[in-house]
Amino acid sequence: MPARRFPAPGRPARVATLSVHTSPLDQPGAGDAGGMNVYIVEVSRRLAARGIEVDVFTRATSSELPPVVEVSPGATVRHVSAGPFEGLGKDELPAQLCAFTAAVLRAEAQHEPGYYDVVHSHYWLSGQVGWLARDRWGVPLVHTAHTLAKVKNEALADGDRPEPRARVIGEEQVVAEADRLIANTDEEARQLVRLYGADPARTLVVPPGVDLDRFAPGSRAAARRAVGVRDDAVVLLFVGRIQPLKAPDVLLHTAARMLADDPALRARLQVHVVGAPSGSGLDAPRQLEELARSLGIGEVVRFHPPQPPARLAEFYRAADVTVVPSHNESFGLVALESQACGTPVVAAAVGGLPTAVRDGVSGVLVDGHRADDYAAAVRAVLARRELLAAGAGRHAAAFSWDRTADALVAAYTSAAAEMAAPQARPLRDRRPGRLRALPGMGVAR
């Protein structure tokens, strides 16, 4: 393996970031684009601002995409040809991992040995590629799962499809191979250890952040004018991909329950849904609209396509409450963005949402997915909105992408130092949770 080139004071100079199944340039809220896309863009920009070059490798989904796109000085997205440009679903991408890996290795081979100092993979498909690149280049593999199949399968929504066994096996392999696992929250770290046998010493908690300049409090009246909402409206907001996992149907049932309890509210209530069908939601892309009509609330529900960040911030500011009723969330960037804009959140008490939302301070957490419980939570927020709005802003201010980037740099540096230590270079057994030592060497524990 080539000698590693870490400049003083030990920080990496270049990071190869892998995002096989979705480009960080894609609009979040549709298809496979979501919080992970935001995460990669924001972290890449901030690493580049710290003098660390970042190349993000992602699969090209159109022949018209340029080979290289500069996100910011020092941060680039590289489109890799792997399979047909269009028409491939996420479940079909494992067959293209060999082609994707070959393209990544060829890109590195055009440079002097030791060009990249770290591989950071996002989602299990990228982890499979990162595992091979790590072994080929002799650099640390840092992996962020974003979502976990075993966790999703434990909390399936009605009508949703379980994650396939192939993904479970792939995740187990990546967990066993990664030099550092980055969890968004303490709960995710515990899930990695409990469900996947992850080594706690290699599992680090690095919370995502929020762009506190873009998502910030502002005039609610001005925001309402910008998005076409009356000043006296009671506005409930959902932002995200339209699929059973995200449970937008819970919000519609909640609105119907609120109107049944208080018919006079119908003149003022507005439910805004910002997003597009994704995943198993593509099987019935009009289902949510049909549900609104069947519940008798079609006239109070408004559907919007995914919005660019500046426009999305206006939706957050215009809302009285943002509702995040997901069956599972590794973190919940929507909740954090909403709070940063001064809008409290009602969210399911699952996954990372108890970290993203401070119950009783920046919003209300709800156990389960009963419409009655969500309706009660929304009414509780409306009754204390000004106090919770102030708490939401304070809570969100504790999260920033700069802190995330600094923690990742520390993880990259410590993983590289560990790899460079001769006594700590075990050859990992391919079975999850097991290590086998090289002859004459002990196993690091």
Can you list the positions of beta strands (E) in 217-362? Answer: 234-239, 269-274, 301-304, 321-324, 345-348
**Residue 374, annotated as binding a ligand:** no
Helices (H), 178-278: 186-196, 220-227, 248-261
Cβ pair 13, 53 in contact under 8 A? yes
319 assigned to a ligand binding site: yes
CA distance 185 to 255: 31
173 assigned binding-site residue: no
Q: Is 36 annotated as a binding residue?
A: yes
* 224 annotated ligand-binding residue: no
411 is in an annotated binding site: no
Task: List, in sequence order, every residue forming a beta bridge with 76; answer none if it has no partner.
Answer: 55, 70
Determine the Cα–Cα distance for residues 423 and 7; give it in Å rounded to an integer: 22
Q: What is the 3-state secondary structure (H, E, C) of 81-96?
A: CCCCCCCCCHHHHHHH
Would you say 35 is a known binding-site residue?
yes
Which residue type occupies 110? Q
On whether 329 is known to bind a ligand per the annotation, the reply is yes
**33 known member of a binding site:** yes
Lookup: tokens for 26: 């894609």
One-letter amino acid for residue 140 of the chain:
P
Any binding-site annotation on 339? no
**Annotated binding-site residue? 39:** no
**How, if at all, do strands 345-348 and 363-366 pair?**
parallel
Q: Is there a binding annotation on residue 147?
A: yes
Q: Which two tokens stand for residue 444?
A: 């690091």
Is position 114 annotated in a ligand binding site? no
Helices (H), 11-157: 35-49, 97-109, 123-137, 149-154
CB distance 299 to 361 below 8 Å: no
363 annotated to bind ligand: no
93, 49 Cβ separation under 8 angstroms: no
Beta-carbon contacts of 105 under 8 Å, excluding residues fewer than 6 positions away, are 132, 133, 136
Phi-psi domain of 359 (left: phi exceeds 0; alpha: psi -120 through 50; beta: other): beta
246 is known to lie in a ligand binding site: yes
Q: Is 111 annotated as a binding residue?
A: no
Instruction: Tell me the C-alpha distance between 33 and 313, whole Å.
Output: 18
Question: H or E stretch including 302?
Answer: strand 301-304
264 is in an annotated binding site: no
235 vs 322: CA distance, rounded Å: 9
Is 123 labelled a binding residue? yes
* Strand 321-324 relative to strand 234-239, pairing: parallel
Which amino acid, one-letter code, is at 270? Q
- Is 343 within any annotated ligand binding site? yes
Question: Is 40 strand, coil or helix?
Answer: helix
Closest by alpha carbon to 365, among 241, 187, 192, 194?
187
To the question of whether residue 153 is assigned a binding role by annotation, the answer is no
Residue positions forming the annotated binding site for Mg(2+): 316-317, 319, 343
Residue positions forming the annotated binding site for UDP-N-acetyl-alpha-D-glucosamine: 27-28, 35, 241, 246, 307, 329, 337
Residue positions forming the annotated binding site: 21, 27-28, 32-37, 90, 123, 147, 167, 241, 246, 307, 316-317, 319, 329, 337, 343
Residue positions forming the annotated binding site for 1D-myo-inositol 3-phosphate: 21, 32-37, 90, 123, 147, 167
